[in-house]
Structure 1
Amino acid sequence: MFGDLCKNSKGYDLRPLSELLLIERGGSPRPIADYITESEDGVNWIKIGDAEEGSIYITNTKEKIKPEGTKKSRYVKPGDFLLSNSMSFGRPYILTIDGYIHDGWLVLRDEQDIFNKKYLYALLSSSYASSSFESMAAGSVVKNLNKDLVGRLMVPVPSMDEQKQYADFLEQSDKSKYICNVTRRFLC
């Protein structure tokens, strides 16, 4: 629908991600063991391990941190995007919870409502973004992304109507896959 992103074959306005989204790095209070809690007043501590394989959403956490640990971390809220910044870097997720993020995450926040969430997820998951992140990643043994590198990613900005059409198409496609899978299980 959007043509070849590498060549921008549809001629969309290309802008660096840093002009479109707020991008910030997570933080971890140290030593972390001093801040982990099971207390009622604990807050969600969102780590890479909370991202489930094959999911686009982060819906819960395995651990919580003490409120005083939040001073050394980064607050995130539902609707924010998280992007892993090391090891398996460049994987995006959409938050459905609030909490604080580990330093293995970058938060990308669309404060200007420029993007449809499903379009942005597809864009950040695309081979275009993955190959761009791969070429930008720093490090010789363990490659890492940082907010400046991610902010340099040039992204196409289709109209909101085009983004919504794409999101609607994805939703219909997901429904079709579900119906096929249910039918297949019923027939077997």
Structure 2
Amino acid sequence: MTHKTVAGNLPDKWVGALIKNVCRVVRGSSPRPAGSPLYFDGDFLPWATVADITSSAEMYLKSTKSMLTKAGAERTRITDPGTLMLTNSGATLGVPKISSIKCGANDGIAMLLELDGIATEYAYYYLLSKTQYFRDVVAPGVGQPNLNTDLIGDFPIPIPPLPEQKKIAQILSTWDKAIDTTEKLLASSRQQKKALMQQLLTGKKRLKSNTISFKKTRYGEIPEDWNYPAIKDIAIQLSEKNNKNHNYPVLSCSKHTGFVDSLKYFKKKVYSDDTSGYRIIPRNCFGFPSNHIEEGSIGLQKLYDFGIVSPIYVVFDIDRAKVNGDYLIAILKTEHYRQIFCAATNASVDRRGSLRWKEFSAIHVPLPPLEEQHSIASILANADREIETLQQKLDCLKREKKALMQQLLTGKRRVQIGEVQ
């Protein structure tokens, strides 16, 4: 059975209340003038800012990046451990955090004090479930939206019996632990891949040779048995246009994702109706927008047998008797080559800040023997698959947690109270 409350239809034994009726909502206070050495960069009291609250997805605030002097502590609102905080201004408003330390709080942070009949962790999860709603509905706007104490106080909250609150928080914290574990595994896998790339793509770790002597190149030292050709010596530009108006998918290349289907990725049409001047890019060929490659926007097209890209793109194919495409894209996506592209773009005679094929193809790349390229590409592909698997697991956990929050925090799904310890 349900009944109507200020917080919507809730199960029997649940009540709804405005936040101001179950706690005291106050705002932090910042010493003025901001940045004064009289108050800031001290060693007396931790100083909590919006950046501290929003820097991680953890429930608890365990430390701050800066400290106040004793004089600064006298000019702020000091919060005790266990205080529920909520960011109240700017683009990152509506983010809750529970302080586990005694600290000062600046005026971009609100605090919910003296919670009456509400477990702090339950209130944290409820506010967390409403972050986007706070931004989109309660305090929308341009410039500097503000979630002031009146808006927070007038916001409704559903209140289950205290044992049920604790059980809900316990269940959601279990999901948080699973998410945190997966995030750490993902970060570790990415770091391991980065280290692998550093070793494999410079020849410091060999797979198919015992060569230990090195030679100097602009790329740095590489093994003696590696080549260092210009891109034009191992690749050829492709310039075929979509003159026959093939119904090929329109592709875009981003610095992080590589090639994507423009229509699916952007959820709307972002290209011209007339694609007759677009360039055709076959599967396993390379491409980059000539005016954005300095950002690292270069990709290997593996989505379709044929796609088309904007006329600003440079498209090229490689000599597969000399080059493994997956190896080459790994090299070209490194930070070292992003900097090379940036320098080449700045030095280009094209005043529009573009890097054309002539300048791009003159860039040299380190090239191991082909068999070693295949092995390097295979190892990095395995690392990518591990990262992708962990990312998919993380995304799934976050979606499931979000759905579970929606059910548990509204009473649509009930918990077994007897299990609360």
**Which whole-Å CA distance do the structure 2 matches of 1:116 and 1:181 have between them?**
27
**CA deviation digits over 1:101-145, x for unaligned, max 9?**
111100112343x22222111100114x64256423275422111
Would the aligned equivalents of 1:8 and 1:156 in 2 still touch at CA under 8 Å? no
Would the aligned equivalents of 1:124 and 1:130 in 2 still touch at CA under 8 Å? no
**Which whole-Å CA distance do the structure 1 matches of 2:52 and 2:185 have between them?**
31
**Which whole-Å CA distance do the structure 2 matches of 1:33 and 1:19 have between them?**
36
Identity fraction in percent: 27
Per the alignment, residue 94 of structure 1 pairs with 98
- Aligned amino acid, residue 106 of structure 2: H
Count residues with an aligned counterpart.
Answer: 180
Greater RCO (Cα-Cα under 8 Å, separation 6 or more): 1
Per the alignment, residue 20 of structure 2 pairs with 18
1:155-166 matches, cutoff 5 A: 155-166=157-168
**CA deviation digits over 1:139-177, x for unaligned, max 9?**
542211111110000111110011122123224444555
Unaligned runs of 5+ in 1: none
Would the aligned equivalents of 1:58 and 1:93 in 2 still touch at CA under 8 Å? yes
Asked if residue 65 in structure 1 is aligned to residue 68 in structure 2, the reply is: yes
Q: Which is greater in Rg?
A: 2
Unaligned runs of 5+ in 2: 189-385, 387-421
1:27-66 matches, cutoff 5 A: 27-34=29-36, 35-39=39-43, 42-51=44-53, 52-66=55-69
What secondary structure, in the 3-state scheme, does the structure 1 residue paired with 2:137 have? Answer: helix
**CA deviation digits over 1:69-113, x for unaligned, max 9?**
23321110111011001111111001010111111100112343x
The alpha carbon displacement at 1:20 in A equals 0.7
Would the aligned equivalents of 1:132 and 1:153 in 2 still touch at CA under 8 Å? no
TM-score for both structures, normalised by structure 1: 0.81
- Aligned amino acid, residue 155 of structure 1: I
Would the aligned equivalents of 2:93 and 2:134 in 1 still touch at CA under 8 Å? no
What secondary structure, in the 3-state scheme, does the structure 2 residue paired with 1:90 have? Answer: coil
Moved more, 12-21 or 176-185: 176-185
Would the aligned equivalents of 1:83 and 1:89 in 2 still touch at CA under 8 Å? yes
Distance 1:13 1:182, change over 3 A: same
What secondary structure, in the 3-state scheme, does the structure 1 residue paired with 2:93 have? Answer: coil
Distance 1:108 1:85, change over 3 A: same
What secondary structure, in the 3-state scheme, does the structure 2 residue paired with 1:29 have? Answer: coil
Per the alignment, residue 145 of structure 1 pairs with 147
Moved more, 25-34 or 153-162: 25-34
The alpha carbon displacement at 1:64 in A equals 1.1
**Which whole-Å CA distance do the structure 1 matches of 2:138 and 2:105 have between them?**
23
Indicate which of 73, 82, 86 corresponds to 2:85. Answer: 82
**CA deviation digits over 1:11-40, x for unaligned, max 9?**
53211101111111111111132211334x
The alpha carbon displacement at 1:65 in A equals 1.2
Distance 1:77 1:15, change over 3 A: same
Distance 1:175 1:102, change over 3 A: closer
**Which whole-Å CA distance do the structure 1 matches of 2:21 and 2:150 have between them?**
11
**Which whole-Å CA distance do the structure 1 matches of 2:180 and 2:28 have between them?**
35
**Which whole-Å CA distance do the structure 1 matches of 2:181 and 2:58 have between them?**
19
